[in-house]
C-alpha cells in the first residue's frame, strides 16, 4: 500500500527554525538580577583560601574580599549573601552576635566601600558553634526556644552593622516572627526577611560544610531540617513563615527540589527564592573537569530550570560565571 502525504496541520518545529524566532517565543529568560552570589569571609589577614571541594570558590579575609566583590560588580552582580567563618567557635556561637564578629566587621567595611552593594546575611549558628549545630544544645538536641532569642540578637546585630536583608537558615520554629520582633523593636521595620522556609536535610550541603567547617560534631540535622520525602509539609512551613512576616520564601536545595519550588510558587504571593547549593555546584565542576559534560551549557540549563520552575531569585555559586555569559542589559 502506498502511503499518502499526511496532512500535519500543527507543526511545533515551525517555531524552532531560527535563533531569532526561538528567542521570540522563549517562555523563560534568566537575568543577572535573578542572581545572588554567596561570599565566604573568614578571620585572618591576606587570605584567599581555596575550598578544595568547591572549585573557584574561596574563603576571603576582610582585607581582600574586595577582589571578589569587584569581579562580581564587573559582570553585573550587585547582590551577595555573606557567610562568616570566625576565628573562635564556642557552644552558643557568640561571634555571630558580637559587635566585633566576623560578619559585623565585614558589613561595616563593605558598606563603607560599596554603598550600592545589596548585602544579605545568612542568620544561623552552625558556622559559629564548636559542635556545628544550628543552635544551642540541650539534651543532645538543638533547643528551639533557647535558640530563638539568640537568633533575634544575631539578626539585629547584622542589621545594625549594615545588612540590607537577613536570611535565617536554621529551621527553628518561630524564627521569622522572633527576628521580625527583634528588628522592629530595634527600629528596623523596613528591613526585609528572606526565610529559608523550606530547607531539607540534604546530602547536597556536603561541600559547603567543608567551606565553613560546620559539619556537626555529633548526630545530623534531621531533627530540624525537613525530610526530603515531604512536600505538603513544605507548604505548611511556607504558610507559617508568611504569617510570621517573611517577605521572601526560599526553597533549598534547588535542583532536586524543582517540584517543591513550583508548588511553593503556586500557593504563595511572595517572591520565591531557591538556593542552588554547594553539592549541585561541585557535581557539575567535577564532571566538567573530567570532560564529561559541557560546563557552561549545563550551568545555564540548570539555572534556567530553577527560573522556569518558579524561582524569582537564585542564590548560586555560579552567579559570576553565569552573569559573564549573559548579555549586558
Binding residues for ligand PBG, rule: CB under 6 A, are 122, 124, 126-127, 169, 205, 208-209, 277-278
Q: Report the run of H or E that residue 184 belongs to, with start and end.
A: helix 175-185
The least CB distance from residue 178 to ligand PBG, in Å, is 17
According to DSSP, residue 25 is labeled T
Q: Would you call 307 a catalytic residue per the annotation?
A: no
Which residue, among 309, 201, 199, has the nearest Cα to 259 in the 3D structure?
A: 309
Residue number, 250 or 264, with CB nearest to ligand PBG: 250
d(CA 40, CA 100): 17
| Residue 2 grid coordinates | 502506498
The least CB distance from residue 11 to ligand PBG, in Å, is 43
Residue number, 28 or 150, with CB nearest to ligand PBG: 150
Of the residues 252, 265, 307, 320, which is catalytic?
A: 252
The least CB distance from residue 209 to ligand PBG, in Å, is 6
Of the residues 32, 79, 89, 199, which is catalytic?
A: 199
Residue number, 7 or 53, with CB nearest to ligand PBG: 53
| Residue 246 grid coordinates | 517573611
Cis ω for the linkage preceding 253 (within 30 of 0): yes
Contact yes or no for 267/235 (Cβ under 8 A): yes
d(CA 149, CA 214): 21
Q: Can you point out the beta strands (E) in the chain?
A: 35-42, 48-50, 58-60, 79-85, 118-123, 137-138, 141-142, 165-168, 194-199, 248-252, 272-276, 313-316
d(CA 88, CA 126): 13
Q: Would you call 252 a catalytic residue per the annotation?
A: yes
Residue number, 81 or 235, with CB nearest to ligand PBG: 81
Nearest-CB residue to ligand PBG?
A: 208
Residue number, 68 or 122, with CB nearest to ligand PBG: 122
Give the active site residues.
Answer: 199, 252
Amino acid at each position: 500500500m502506498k502511503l499518502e502525504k499526511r496532512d500535519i496541520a500543527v507543526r511545533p518545529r515551525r517555531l524552532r527554525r531560527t535563533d531569532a524566532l526561538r528567542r521570540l517565543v522563549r517562555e523563560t529568560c534568566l537575568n543577572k538580577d535573578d542572581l545572588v552570589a554567596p561570599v565566604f569571609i573568614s578571620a585572618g589577614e591576606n587570605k584567599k583560601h581555596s575550598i578544595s571541594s568547591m572549585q573557584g570558590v574561596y574563603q576571603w579575609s576582610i582585607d581582600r574580599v574586595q577582589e571578589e566583590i569587584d569581579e562580581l560588580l564587573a559582570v553585573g552582580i550587585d547582590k551577595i549573601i555573606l557567610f562568616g567563618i570566625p576565628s573562635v567557635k564556642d557552644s552558643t556561637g557568640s561571634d555571630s552576635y558580637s559587635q566585633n564578629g566576623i560578619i559585623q566587621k565585614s558589613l561595616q567595611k563593605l558598606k563603607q566601600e560599596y554603598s550600592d552593594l545589596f548585602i544579605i546575611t545568612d542568620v544561623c549558628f552552625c558556622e559559629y558553634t564548636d559542635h556545628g549545630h544550628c543552635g544551642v544544645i540541650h539534651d543532645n538536641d538543638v533547643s528551639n526556644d533557647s535558640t530563638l532569642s539568640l537568633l533575634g540578637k544575631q539578626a539585629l546585630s547584622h542589621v545594625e552593622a549594615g545588612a540590607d536583608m537577613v536570611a535565617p537558615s536554621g529551621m527553628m520554629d518561630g524564627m521569622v516572627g522572633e527576628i521580625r520582633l527583634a528588628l522592629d523593636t530595634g527600629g528596623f521595620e523596613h528591613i526585609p526577611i528572606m526565610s529559608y522556609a523550606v530547607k531539607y536535610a540534604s546530602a547536597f550541603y556536603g561541600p559547603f560544610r567543608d567551606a565553613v567547617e560546620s559539619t556537626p560534631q555529633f548526630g545530623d540535622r534531621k531533627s530540624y531540617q525537613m525530610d526530603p520525602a515531604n512536600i505538603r509539609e513544605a507548604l505548611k512551613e511556607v504558610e507559617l513563615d508568611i504569617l510570621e512576616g517573611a517577605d521572601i520564601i526560599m526553597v533549598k536545595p534547588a535542583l532536586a527540589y524543582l517540584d517543591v519550588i513550583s508548588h511553593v510558587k503556586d500557593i504563595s504571593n511572595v517572591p520565591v527564592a531557591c538556593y542552588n547549593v554547594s553539592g549541585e555546584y561541585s557535581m557539575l565542576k567535577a564532571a566538567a573537569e573530567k570532560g564529561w559534560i559541557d560546563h557552561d551549557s549545563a550551568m545555564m540549563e540548570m539555572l534556567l530550570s530553577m527560573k522556569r520552575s518558579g524561582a524569582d531569585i537564585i542564590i548560586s555559586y555560579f552567579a559570576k560565571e553565569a552573569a559573564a555569559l549573559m548579555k549586558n542589559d
